[in-house]
Amino acid sequence: MPARVDKIEIRDVTLAYGSFVVLRDIRARIRSGAVFVIMGGSGCGKSTLLQALIGLRAPTDGEVLYDGIPFWGSGPEARQERLRSFGVLFQNGALWSSMTLAENIGLVLGEFTDLTPPEIRDLSRFKLSLVGLRGFEDFYPSQVSGGMAKRAALARALALDPDILFLDEPSAGLDPITSRKLDELILQLRDSLGATFVVVTHELASIFAIADECLFLDGSTRTMRAQGSPRALLERADDPGVRAFLTRGASGMEPTDPAHAALGNLTKE
């Protein structure tokens, strides 16, 4: 029986800014079609790890493998080719402000496919309709709300039918209802597209709603402290730091319902 090839393998990755080590010895294996969440407190290196995954920051040690093929160890052209199978949603959306929503998507399609302008227009409209923005094709990012801009950015990330979608703090700055709708959208897209999702977040409600597996990073030890499904981490983690994070610091609290845990102490406070 052939060995299982993971969609993504993070193999003993160490990341540093100059001589300052941000993260060391990070290991994780992400299966195809999973929603994998990288979580941890502010400043623990979540976004830095994401940068290493999407080709923006080379690890000082270790390797990232996609479909069993080393990413940083391959040449620039192979890396560029691999990058085209990624979709990235940046924390603030990072839509190009001088272009309409449709142009934001169309630019990527025009650059990397042989589609004609009418085909690009049709495809852009479809991608926007997937995220509930049909009819907003000719709006500029400044003319839509934060939640809509985020969904438009997700549509842009979906432009090239990516194998893997990286979402950096998708719920940041969104109200709870919009945030929940975005979580539902992520799950629907995962189920429909079969794509693998890597999500950086510290929103507990989102983590319990979407994650198949989590990686908990710790800023004080500058490495990973736990890995597993959020429910398993909540029920079995003996690490007080992980428990404190997942229960929003309510030590001794034993929530049976993850949603209750996710909402934390709001009612207590």
Q: Which is nearer to other proteins, 62 or 141 (CB)?
A: 141
Q: Contacting other proteins (CB under 8 A), which of 139, 235, 255, 260?
A: 139
Residues 66-85 that bind other proteins (CB under 8 A): 81, 84-85
Q: Contacting other proteins (CB under 8 A), which of 142, 220, 251, 267?
A: 142
Q: Which amino acid is at 160?
A: L
Give the span between the Cα atoms of 201 and 249, in whole angstroms: 17
Q: Contacting other proteins (CB under 8 A), which of 36, 136, 197, 245?
A: 136
The set of residues, in sequence order, having a beta carbon less than 8 Å from that of 245 and lying 6+ positions away, is: 39, 40, 41, 216
The set of residues, in sequence order, having a beta carbon less than 8 Å from that of 253 and lying 6+ positions away, is: 247, 261, 265
Look up residue 4 and give its DSSP letter: P
Asked if 118 and 161 count as a contact pair (C-beta separation under 8 A), the reply is: no
CA 186 to chain centre: 10
Asked if 185 and 153 count as a contact pair (C-beta separation under 8 A), the reply is: no
Ramachandran category for residue 267: left, alpha or beta (phi over 0 → left; psi -120 to 50 → alpha): alpha
Query: Binding of other proteins at residue 127 (CB under 8 A)?
Result: yes
| Neighbour tally for 176: CB within 10 Å | 11
Q: Contacting other proteins (CB under 8 A), which of 12, 25, 61, 138?
A: 138
Query: Binding of other proteins at residue 10 (CB under 8 A)?
Result: no
Residue appearing with tokens 């030590």: 251
Query: Binding of other proteins at residue 131 (CB under 8 A)?
Result: yes
Name the segment binding other proteins (CB under 8 A); options: 52-60, 171-179, 192-200, 245-253: 192-200
Nearest distance, CB of residue 133 and other proteins, angstroms? 8
Q: Contacting other proteins (CB under 8 A), which of 50, 52, 123, 200?
A: 123
Q: Which is nearer to other proteins, 106 or 230 (CB)?
A: 106
Query: Binding of other proteins at residue 267 (CB under 8 A)?
Result: no
Q: Contacting other proteins (CB under 8 A), which of 43, 73, 194, 249?
A: 194
Query: Binding of other proteins at residue 156 (CB under 8 A)?
Result: no
Nearest distance, CB of residue 53 and other proteins, angstroms? 17
**Helix, strand or coil for residue 32?**
coil
Q: Is the dihedral of CA 125, 127, 128, 132 positive or negative?
A: positive
Asked if 211 and 230 count as a contact pair (C-beta separation under 8 A), the reply is: yes
Name the segment binding other proteins (CB under 8 A); options: 19-27, 43-51, 181-189, 207-215: 181-189
Nearest distance, CB of residue 114 and other proteins, angstroms? 7
Residue appearing with tokens 């549509």: 155
Query: Binding of other proteins at residue 113 (CB under 8 A)?
Result: yes
Q: What are 89's strand-pairing partners?
A: 167
Residues binding other proteins: what is the number (CB under 8 A)?
A: 40
Residues in contact with other proteins by the rule CB under 8 A: 33, 81, 84-85, 97-98, 113-115, 119, 122-123, 125-127, 129-136, 138-142, 160-163, 185, 188-189, 191-195
